[in-house]
């Protein structure tokens, strides 16, 4: 098969969660263990870092990868979903997986996969673990797909586990309380493996404390970034980037914008400190500075408060749940503009009302839908939005909505594109 035929076969035989939602989700670890055994436990040939959380786990994963690359380590990075190209999910030192490798991998293992009928994510996780082994990585940063406890990435025994935060998302699969979601994500915590928790208060913190007690971990190998306070202050630079004054690394300039990155940066700094304390992977001050400054170049990260145009300023962000949208709205309040235009769409399995309740009523809205089956119909979204005092027009595609926003906006306006990872993906492809 050609590369295009191979990718189409993967999509059709094992539909992506991002396309069809919970219908693509397979509960339990049986397939994960079968695939792991079939492929020869490839993840055991290199060190791994496991990253879970509701928001920020993608940014944290990319930042960790960038810092490790700057330190000279050959670094694998496995993330999801992709925005434009399937190969974004699997990278070594920022370079996407080879097309030829994907074709060969599927040809060699097709009969086995057809016998066990894995989910799309189970299949691609096995591919990633094999690719990193075949490319002789020193270490790989592995982002959890969904939850943690039953996620197929949880077959690994990492040298460090990181949980960024807990918020409401995928409640039908993970539970409808924060403590239930925390228990699912806390399922990546393993005895003898150091842990960094980015954000956790109240009952959520108690859930993680219970994991620490069960595993017998101490304060040295189980830390909360909020307690460590590695960042003393932060400010937005004229470029839109963030500058952090830190306890250990002096002033750090982060290529990524958006207030959410302050929490992510604190988590990353704690993780790097933990690696230095409990592993052979040493990351010096210069590596930290360069890793934060060149994260998109090093890893190909897109869609995190990404400035896609000027006059008018166009901002793309993949935040898609309550926690992510709270940060986006806060950041928009800091922007200077004459008028705010919001190109907005969601998928149909999110808490739509809770997100709409956060959005600014003074903006002009261009409701739309991404080019995936899960996308919420733009007309339906527009009708729901009126209840929350949000007004605008509905457009059948993101391209149409963005074109209309550009047509209406003046040079001093801001256009924000978000609400769904897949709306941003479509915008990047316009």
Rounded to an integer, the average pLDDT of 284-301 is: 97
What is the number of other CB atoms lying within 10 angstroms of the CB of residue 161?
Answer: 27
Mean pLDDT for all residues in the chain: 92
For 116-133, write each residue's pLDDT tens digit: 989 899 999 999 999 999
pLDDT bin (cut points 50, 70, 90) of residue 19 is very low
Sign of CA dihedral 131, 124, 320, 228: negative
CATH of the domain at 284: 3.40.1190.10
Look at residues 236, 266, 299 and tell me which one is the last residue of a structural domain. 299
Contact 365, 395 (CB under 8 A): no
pLDDT bin (cut points 50, 70, 90) of residue 20 is very low
pLDDT bin (cut points 50, 70, 90) of residue 300 is very high
**321 and 263 together in one domain:** no
For 51-84, write each residue's pLDDT tens digit: 999 889 999 999 999 999 999 999 999 999 999 8
> Of 128, 118, 106, which Cα lies nearest the Cα of 48?
128
Tokens read off for 313: 């300023």
> Of 231, 275, 277, which Cα lies nearest the Cα of 254?
231
Contact 144, 125 (CB under 8 A): no
**293 and 322 together in one domain:** no
**108 and 257 together in one domain:** yes
Residues 6 or more apart whose Cβ sits within 8 Å of residue 284:
71
pLDDT at 17 over 50: no
Tokens read off for 73: 């380590």
Q: Which helix or strand (DSSP H or E) is residue 386 part of?
A: helix 378-386
pLDDT of residue 144: 97
Number of domains in the chain: 2
For 368-397, write each residue's pLDDT tens digit: 999 988 899 999 999 999 999 999 999 999
Rounded to an integer, the average pLDDT of 93-121 is: 95
pLDDT at 21 over 60: no
Residue 188 to residue 156: CA distance in whole angstroms: 9
Burial class (CB in 10 A: 0-12, 13-18, 19+), 377: middle
Q: Is 286 helix (H, G, I), strand (E, B) or coil?
A: helix
pLDDT of residue 169: 65
pLDDT of residue 171: 56
What is the CA 85 to chain-centroid distance, rounded?
A: 15
Rounded to an integer, the average pLDDT of 322-350 is: 91
**247 and 136 together in one domain:** yes
pLDDT of residue 141: 98
Rounded to an integer, the average pLDDT of 176-195 is: 91
pLDDT bin (cut points 50, 70, 90) of residue 22 is very low
Contact 162, 50 (CB under 8 A): yes
Higher-confidence position of 348 and 102:
102
Contact 356, 344 (CB under 8 A): no
φ, ψ at 360 (rounded to 5°): -70, 130
- The answer to whether the pTM exceeds 0.75 is yes
Strand-strand pairing, 95-96 and 90-92: antiparallel
**234 and 331 together in one domain:** no
Strand-strand pairing, 313-316 and 414-418: parallel
**389 and 406 together in one domain:** yes
CATH of the domain at 414: 3.90.190.20
Please calculate the CA angle 135-50-168 and round it to the nearest 5 degrees: 135
pLDDT of residue 236: 84
Beta bridge partners of residue 417, listed in sequence order? 316, 343
**365 and 268 together in one domain:** no
CA distances from 41 to 33, 101, 112, 159, 189 (A): 9, 18, 15, 16, 20
Look at residues 299, 319, 334 and tell me which one is the last residue of a structural domain. 299
Round to the nearest angstrom and report the end-to-end CA distance of the chain.
29
Contact 163, 54 (CB under 8 A): no
Contact 288, 272 (CB under 8 A): yes
Q: Kindly list the strands in the beta sheet with 364-367, ordered across the sheet, starting from the edge strand earlier in the chain.
A: 306-309, 313-316, 414-418, 340-344, 364-367, 392-394
Burial class (CB in 10 A: 0-12, 13-18, 19+), 196: buried
Beta bridge partners of residue 254, listed in sequence order? 242
Residue 2 to residue 13: CA distance in whole angstroms: 16
**358 and 223 together in one domain:** no
> Of 109, 69, 47, 124, which Cα lies nearest the Cα of 296?
69
Look at residues 244, 275, 299 and tell me which one is the last residue of a structural domain. 299
**54 and 117 together in one domain:** yes
**274 and 164 together in one domain:** yes
**312 and 210 together in one domain:** no
Domain of 315, in residue numbers: 306-428
pLDDT of residue 27: 63
**182 and 235 together in one domain:** yes
């Amino acid at each position: 098969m050609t590369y295009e035929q191979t990718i189409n076969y993967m999509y059709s035989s094992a539909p992506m969660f991002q396309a069809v939602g919970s219908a693509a989700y397979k509960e339990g670890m049986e397939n994960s263990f079968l695939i792991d055994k079939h492929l020869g436990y490839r993840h055991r040939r290199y060190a791994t870092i496991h990253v879970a959380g509701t928001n920020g786990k993608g940014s944290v994963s990319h930042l960790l990868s960038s810092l490790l690359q700057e330190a000279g380590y050959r670094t694998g990075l496995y993330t999801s979903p992709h925005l434009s190209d399937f190969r974004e999910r699997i990278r070594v030192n920022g370079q996407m997986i080879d097309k030829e490798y994907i074709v060969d991998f599927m040809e060699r293992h097709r009969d086995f996969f057809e016998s066990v009928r894995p989910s799309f994510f189970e299949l691609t996780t096995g591919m990633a673990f094999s690719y990193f082994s075949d490319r002789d990585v020193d270490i790989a940063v592995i982002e959890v797909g969904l939850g943690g406890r039953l996620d197929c990435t949880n077959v690994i025994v990492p040298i460090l586990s990181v949980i960024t935060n807990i918020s409401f998302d995928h409640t039908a699969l993970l539970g409808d309380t924060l403590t239930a979601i925390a228990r699912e994500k806390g399922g990546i915590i393993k005895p003898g493996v150091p842990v960094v928790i980015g954000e956790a208060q109240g009952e959520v913190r108690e859930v993680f404390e219970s994991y620490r007690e069960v595993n017998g971990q101490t304060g040295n190998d189980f830390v909360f970034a909020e307690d460590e306070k590695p960042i003393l202050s932060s400010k937005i630079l004229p470029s839109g980037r963030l500058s952090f004054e830190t306890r250990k690394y002096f002033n750090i300039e982060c290529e990524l914008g958006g207030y959410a990155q302050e929490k992510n940066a604190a988590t990353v700094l704690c993780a790097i400190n933990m690696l230095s304390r409990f592993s052979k992977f040493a990351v010096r001050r210069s590596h930290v500075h360069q890793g934060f400054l060149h994260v998109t170049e090093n890893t190909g990260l897109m869609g995190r408060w990404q400035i896609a145009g000027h006059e008018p300023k166009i901002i793309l962000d993949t935040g898609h749940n309550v926690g992510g949208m709270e940060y986006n709205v806060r950041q928009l309040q800091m922007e200077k503009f004459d008028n705010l235009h919001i190109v907005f769409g969601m998928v149909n399995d999110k808490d739509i009302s809770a997100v709409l309740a956060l959005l600014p009523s003074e903006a002009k809205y261009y409701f739309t839908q991404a080019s995936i089956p899960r996308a919420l119909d733009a007309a339906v979204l527009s009708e729901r939005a009126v209840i929350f005092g949000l007004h605008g027009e509905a457009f059948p595609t993101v391209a149409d909505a963005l074109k209309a926003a550009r047509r209406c906006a003046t040079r001093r306006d801001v256009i924000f594109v978000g609400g769904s990872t897949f709306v941003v993906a479509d915008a990047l492809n316009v």
